[in-house]
Amino acid sequence: MKILKVQNLSISFGGLKAVDNLNFEVEDNSIYGLIGPNGAGKTTVFNCISRFYTPDSGKVLFSPNGEEVNLLDYQVHQVIDKGLARTFQNVELFDNLTVLENLMVGHHGKTKTNFFAEGLRLPFVNKEERRVEEKALEILDFLNLKGIENLQASAQPYGVQKMLELGRVLMSDAKLIILDEPAAGMNDTETDKLAETIKRIRDHYGVTILLVEHDMGLVMDVCERICAINFGKKIAEGTPKEIQNSVEVQEAYLGKGDE
Ligand X SMILES: Nc1ncnc2c1ncn2[C@@H]1O[C@H](COP(=O)(O)OP(=O)(O)OP(=O)(O)O)[C@@H](O)[C@H]1O
User: Should residue 40 be labelled a site residue for ligand X when binding is judged by CB under 6 A?
Assistant: yes
User: Should residue 182 be labelled a site residue for ligand X when binding is judged by CB under 6 A?
Assistant: no
User: Should residue 42 be labelled a site residue for ligand X when binding is judged by CB under 6 A?
Assistant: yes
Hey, is 229 helix, strand or coil? strand
Exposed (0-12), middle (13-18) or buried (19+): which is 219, by Cβ within 10 Å?
A: buried
Stretch that binds ligand X, among 31-39, 72-80, 127-135, 162-170 (CB under 6 A): 31-39
Stretch that binds ligand X, among 10-18, 116-124, 131-139, 186-194 (CB under 6 A): 10-18
User: Should residue 106 be labelled a site residue for ligand X when binding is judged by CB under 6 A?
Assistant: no
Longest dimension (CA), the chain: 66
Reference 79, options 107, 51, 57; nearest CA is: 51
Hey, is 94 helix, strand or coil? coil
User: Should residue 33 be labelled a site residue for ligand X when binding is judged by CB under 6 A?
Assistant: no
Stretch that binds ligand X, among 11-19, 60-68, 97-105, 114-122 (CB under 6 A): 11-19
CB 253 within 8 A of CB 247: no
Among residues 38 and 189, whose Cβ is nearest to ligand X? 38
Instruction: Fill in the amino acid letter for 49.
Output: I
Interface ranges with ligand X (CB under 6 A): 13, 16, 18, 36, 38-44
